[in-house]
Amino acid sequence: MANQRNQNQRRPSGSHSQRPRSVEQRSAQRQRSRRRQPRRSGPDLSRLFYRRPKADFKPDNQSFNLLKVLHLTHAQRSTLLKWGLYIAVIVVLCTIQDVIMSHVRIFGATTDLAVCAILLITVIEGIDVGSLFVLIASCLFYFSGSSPGPMSVGLMTLLGIGACLFRQMYWHRNRGSIVLSAGLALMLYELGNFTVGVFSGLTRWDRLPIFAMTGLLSILVMIPLYSLINRIGQIGGTTWKE
């Protein structure tokens, strides 16, 4: 009996002594586990200082550019811009002629703005480019409905090419020679229209001064118009050779 009592007395004391050890061990393990786990509440500062390695090749530009898609060089873009401005000038002059100048009469005559621009561009560009331009421009001028008839296509083409050859053969390239050559071609163009109109019964002989006055007024318009067209022709550099 005495032995049993002694054992019963030893058990609670032993169990009581082991409990605090187990609690301390558990608390120590919890603290260790908390130290090992990363904190998720705060911001991750490592991303702020992380730098991506530089790529060997630059990525392609995602922006859409029609000129780059067409693979146009700088010279081709300049040429496209120059001829686009030429066309815009002719279209604007045709509109002014049909809307405004067709109602303005000076001694019974008016101007011929579209023909002024076409002949000036032809002489400025030279025989190589100007001959093809005047042929295409005269055809488009006829189909626009502003020309006096189909004979204007052949008449303007021949006179434009003749003005280029005459200027290159006898005069140096400058403002006066270009304006005089184009103006002479314009005067012959107006007289040619008068001659065709007389023989076809569309006009009378007494209207010759009116056609001559139209040519003179158009030549006067060429003087300020030359500055604009020559400035456009300088886009991309000069391509003519003499």
Is residue 96 included in any domain, yes or no? yes
Is residue 104 included in any domain, yes or no? yes
Q: Is the pLDDT of residue 15 over 70?
A: no
- Domain of residue 140: give its range: 74-233
Q: What is the DSSP string of 150-205?
A: THHHHHHHHHHHHHHHHHHHHS-SSHHHHHHHHHHHHHHHHHHHHHHHHHTTSS-G
Is residue 229 included in any domain, yes or no? yes
Which of these ranges, 59-68, 81-90, 141-150, has the smallest mean pLDDT?
A: 59-68
Structural domain count of the chain: 1
| pLDDT on residue 5 | 47
Is residue 7 included in any domain, yes or no? no
Q: Given 3-state DSSP classes, what are the helix, strand and coil percentages for the chain, each rounded to the nearest 5?
A: 70, 0, 30
Q: Is the pLDDT of residue 54 over 70?
A: no
8 A C-beta contact, residue 123 and residue 130: yes
Higher confidence at residue 233 or residue 241? 233
Is residue 31 included in any domain, yes or no? no
8 A C-beta contact, residue 129 and residue 239: yes
| First CA to last CA distance, the chain | 139
Confidence of residue 149 (pLDDT cuts 50, 70, 90): confident
At which residue do the structure tokens 């911001």 appear? 43
Kindly report the CATH number assigned to the domain that includes residue 158.
1.10.1760.20
Is residue 173 included in any domain, yes or no? yes
Q: Can you tell me the distance from the alpha carbon of 152 to that of 186, in angstroms, rounded to the nearest whole number?
A: 11
Higher confidence at residue 30 or residue 48? 30
Is residue 100 included in any domain, yes or no? yes
For 56, which DSSP code? S
Q: Can you tell me the distance from the alpha carbon of 156 to that of 160, in angstroms, rounded to the nearest whole number?
A: 6
Higher confidence at residue 85 or residue 20? 85
Of 216, 215, 241, 229, residue with least CA distance to 120: 229
8 A C-beta contact, residue 125 and residue 233: yes
Is residue 200 included in any domain, yes or no? yes
The pTM of this model reads 0.68
8 A C-beta contact, residue 167 and residue 123: yes
Beta-carbon contacts of 102 under 8 Å, excluding residues fewer than 6 positions away, are 110
